[in-house]
């Protein structure tokens, strides 16, 4: 409690101690600051009209110090003008009680603000614990996924050798099994790469290898690579008359396109599925749009699908729109280039995923991918 009138301090101190509070009194702002620095209190009752340093100045100094800035301050003053109250809240106060006060009111407000502070401290502690657990989870996932890359690459290599070995005569059924096996392994390798690269980009450890990229050529190459996965579905893309060049990391942009096409294939119906790919230069940017005639995404879920490990159920059979990292990787990769990404469309009417990139690349050439 801070008040230059000892009688006020004595009266309030006796009352609060009677309710079980530990109370320290200071007769000036200077002494109050010294006491708070030595042993920060849980709450401060602060008078305004004091010599040498008024309550507004004391409050401002408390809020300017890291150790003291979160202490709730209740102003206790005989000043009744609205502007006095506005100035008190502007200085950082959480409440304002007018003298002469009713002790029951003071007690109720003190109890309420102490409870709010307790909840805030508890929330902060839980947040810190949650971040620590999240880091442990990410470290474990990163370690496991990193160790998976080598055996997956070996499996993919042997699958390739089996299919290319002409001395081996495979039945049609066996060849189909090997083909499906290769698709699954390639998908797993893609997931591994997404996990590792997402982690690198979040930590700002991935440097973009910038070069002039023809987006039309990348789209054609990616669509061509998806032919074995079509199963009656179609990818429609008409290359632009003039090449659309952007300064970007070719490998990362190619993987973004593959992720978006892969998602579209995953959720378009067999035989009648149609994916349309468009390229739209506009000013100093170029936009890529991948549209499908699948189930679509409700507006309230659009932001969530780009979150790390974010998944959205879109069908009654509990299929998920993403593995939880593919679209996160796309978002980080596009934003690292100074671009943006999003999705449009209504539930039941298909989806249009899009991203745009600046023609001249990110603001700083070869800058590491920014942290989220």
Ranges of H-type helices in the chain: 6-18, 29-38, 55-63, 82-91, 103-164, 172-202, 215-225, 250-266, 326-336
Query: Are 195 and 222 in the same domain?
Result: no
CATH (domain of 31) = 3.40.50.2300
Q: For residue range 290-339, what is the model confidence (pLDDT) as tens digits? A: 999 888 887 777 777 887 665 554 443 444 444 457 788 889 899 989 99
Average pLDDT, the chain: 85
46 near 57, Cβ under 8 Å?
no
> Which pLDDT value is given to residue 27?
94
Query: Are 262 and 345 in the same domain?
Result: yes
Residue ending a domain, among 166, 185, 202, is 202
The DSSP letter of residue 102 is: P
Would you say residue 363 lies in a domain?
no
Residue ending a domain, among 149, 181, 202, is 202
State the total domains in the chain.
3
Query: Are 165 and 222 in the same domain?
Result: no
Would you say residue 125 lies in a domain?
no
> Which pLDDT value is given to residue 368?
45
Q: Average the pLDDT over 212-221 and give the result.
A: 92
Tokens of 88: 């008190």
Query: Are 291 and 242 in the same domain?
Result: yes
Q: For residue range 45-71, what is the model confidence (pLDDT) as tens digits? A: 999 999 889 999 999 999 999 999 999
> Which pLDDT value is given to residue 13?
92
**What is d(CA 143, CA 152) in angstroms, rounded to the nearest whole number?**
15
Query: Are 248 and 340 in the same domain?
Result: yes
265 near 290, Cβ under 8 Å?
no
Query: Are 139 and 175 in the same domain?
Result: yes
Look up the domain containing 302 and give its range. Answer: 210-358
> Which pLDDT value is given to residue 370?
43
Vertex 105, ends 103 and 108: CA angle to 5°?
110
Least Cα distance to 97 among 188, 216, 1 occurs for: 1
Residue 231 has pLDDT above 90, yes or no: no
- Please, which pLDDT band fits residue 210 given cuts at 50, 70 and 90? very high
SS3 65: coil
> Which pLDDT value is given to residue 301?
74
Query: Are 192 and 244 in the same domain?
Result: no
> Which pLDDT value is given to residue 205?
66
Would you say residue 304 lies in a domain?
yes
Would you say residue 67 lies in a domain?
yes
**What is d(CA 329, CA 308) in angstroms, rounded to the nearest whole number?**
9
Q: What are phi and psi of 174, to 5 degrees?
A: -65, -40
SS3 176: helix
Query: Are 241 and 279 in the same domain?
Result: yes
**What is d(CA 103, CA 15) in angstroms, rounded to the nearest whole number?**
8
Q: 123-126 contacts: CB < 8 A, separation 24 or more?
A: none
């Amino acid at each position: 409690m801070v008040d230059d009138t000892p009688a006020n301090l004595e009266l309030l101190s006796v009352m609060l101690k009677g309710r079980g509070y530990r109370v320290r009194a200071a007769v000036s702002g200077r002494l109050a600051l010294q006491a708070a620095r030595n042993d920060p209190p849980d709450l401060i009752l602060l008078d305004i009209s004091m010599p040498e340093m008024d309550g507004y100045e004391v409050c401002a100094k408390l809020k300017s110090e890291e150790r003291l800035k979160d202490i709730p301050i209740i102003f206790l003053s005989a000043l009744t003008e609205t502007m006095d109250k506005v100035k008190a809240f502007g200085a950082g106060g959480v409440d304002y009680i007018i003298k002469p006060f009713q002790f029951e009111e003071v007690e109720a407000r003190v109890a309420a603000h102490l409870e709010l502070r307790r909840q805030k401290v508890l929330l902060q502690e839980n947040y810190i614990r949650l971040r620590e657990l999240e880091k442990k989870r990410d470290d474990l996932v990163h370690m496991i996924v990193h160790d998976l890359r080598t055996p997956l690459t070996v499996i993919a290599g042997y699958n390739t050798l089996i299919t290319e070995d002409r001395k081996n005569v495979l039945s049609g059924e066996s060849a189909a099994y090997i083909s499906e096996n290769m698709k699954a392994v390639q998908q797993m390798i893609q997931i591994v790469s997404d996990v590792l690269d997402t982690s690198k980009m979040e930590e700002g450890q991935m440097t973009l290898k910038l070069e002039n990229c023809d987006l039309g050529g990348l789209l054609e190459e990616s669509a061509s690579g998806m032919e074995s996965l079509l199963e009656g579905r179609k990818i429609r893309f008409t290359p632009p008359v003039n090449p659309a060049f952007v300064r970007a990391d070719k490998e990362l942009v190619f993987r973004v396109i593959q992720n978006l096409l892969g998602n579209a294939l995953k959720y378009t119906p067999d035989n009648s599925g149609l994916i349309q790919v468009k390229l739209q230069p506009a000013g100093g940017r170029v936009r890529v749009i991948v549209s499908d005639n699948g189930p679509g995404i409700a507006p309230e879920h659009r932001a969530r699908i780009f979150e790390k490990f974010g998944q959205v159920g879109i069908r009654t059979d509990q299929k998920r729109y993403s593995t939880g990292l593919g679209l996160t990787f796309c978002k980080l990769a596009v934003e690292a280039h100074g671009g943006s990404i999003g999705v449009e469309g209504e539930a039941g009417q298909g989806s249009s995923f899009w991203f745009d990139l600046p023609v001249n690349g990110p603001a700083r050439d070869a800058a590491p991918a920014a942290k989220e």
